[in-house]
Amino acid sequence: MEIHLKLIHFLLITFFISSTALWAVQKNDFVPLSSLSVVEKPIRGADETKEEFSKRVQLLHAQRVKVVFPIQKEFRLAVEDRNKRLHRGEVKQSPSLIDPYDPLFLAYKNVHTLRDVNGDLSELLESKQTKFQDGKAWLFLIAIEDYKYADPVLFARRTGEIVKATFQKKLDIPDRNIISLYNKEATIKNISTQLRKLLRRVQRNDVVYFYYCGHGLSNRNGEQLILPYDGMPDFADSKNSLKIERLYNKFLNSKALRTFSFVDTSFNGITDGVPIVKGLEKLNMRPRAEGYHKRLNILNSARGQDSANAYYAKEYRLFSYFLTKEVLSKPQSAGELFDNIRTKIRKISSEYGEAHLQEPEFFGYRELTIQN
């Protein structure tokens, strides 16, 4: 009874804070985004068994899905729209009000409309011709923006869509050789099932491209994990996450000549400077670097201690935006592509602030070309 009362009290407080924030947005008061983090981390009681604690956490997550998360998402979208209108000069701001996310927007004085934002990548994409010569290239793509038990990953869905279109056209991947999973499609079970279906069709001398955009984390052993749509970030186990090493082993055990992996996440459990596990001042995640094989080339969006960020000026994920732009440019080696991306991402993320520092990392052969 006491547990249920505490849960109801927590939900009412969260609802009040989020509702107040939305009211403030509508009243043209500048609202800090820090209120989005009002989610407690469950703590196991001294007299509580492991099974009782697990059931209580599942109940808490179920309540979050029904009440807290929809409010938070609506609040996030409202504040993002409010901030953009502010920097376009459509709304006046009181000088006494400061938003902790303000540097993200101050770094770009020319704020684009959605149509303007889409322009540069769309124009580059339209200028490329599709070949589909031999059907020897494959793409397995996962992009999760709206999670069942975790915070949204801003711009992940549309980022995945532009990456898919770019890879399909520039890397000569026919539609029949592509499996793309977005949001609810990317459950832990369906990811494994669909990957098995794709790799069963791969033949010798084929090239496979793997792309992931969403939340990442690591377990106590430092093993790197990706979070499926239905995974709980509080529990870094096999029921709630996928070990990236196991995915790579599946590629290596296939007939593919080589695999290129592009992972837009932080295995430190930090997305846009915010930990995905709530209630902790600092996450104790220490992801270790994955080893690489001569048939596997890995390009991660962030180092173990970094955050994976959105590119607010372009409304894509930061790493994937520059990855897409480089793939659409002249043919180049994996090393050259990595060097160009790293320089730009490091510069922009430093403008976001210390909590948003991001620098990609590369494991593999620099001389190989990304193009098939």
Comparing C-alpha atoms, which of 247, 136, 128, 235 is closest to residue 186? 247
- Least confident piece of the model among 8-12, 145-149, 210-214: 8-12
Residue predicted with more confidence, 351 or 34: 351
Q: Is the pLDDT of residue 242 over 90?
A: yes
Alpha-carbon span 256 to 235, nearest angstrom: 33
Classify strands 224-226 and 242-243 as parallel, antiparallel or unpaired: antiparallel
Q: Please measure the distance between the N-terminal and C-terminal CA atoms of the chain and give it in whole angstroms.
A: 61
DSSP calls for 174-226: -GGGEEEEEGGG--HHHHHHHHHHHHHH--TT-EEEEEEES-EEE-TT--EEE
Q: How buried is 51 (Cβ within 10 angstroms: 0-12 exposed, 13-18 middle, 19+ buried)?
A: exposed
- Is 266 within 8 Å of 301 (Cβ atoms)? yes
The string over 180-218, giving b where at least 16 C-beta atoms fall within 10 Å of a residue's C-beta and e elsewhere, is bbbbeebbbebbeebbeebbeebeeebbbbbbbbbbbbb
- Is 67 within 8 Å of 14 (Cβ atoms)? yes
- For residue 6, the number of C-alpha atoms closer than 13 Å in the C-beta half-sphere is 9
SS3 3: helix
Per the prediction, the chain carries an average pLDDT of 75
Q: What token pair was written down for 269?
A: 């459990």
Domain ranges for the chain: 2-99, 114-363
pLDDT tens-digit readout, 341-354: 999 999 988 888 88
Alpha-carbon span 303 to 362, nearest angstrom: 10
Q: Is the pLDDT of residue 309 over 50?
A: yes
Q: What token pair was written down for 349?
A: 């993320």
Question: What letter does residue 68 receive in the DSSP assignment?
Answer: I
Q: In one letter, which amino acid is 367?
A: E
**Confidence label for 85 from pLDDT (cuts 50, 70 and 90):** low
> Looking at the domain 114-363, which fold is it?
Rossmann fold (3.40.50)
Residue predicted with more confidence, 273 or 86: 273
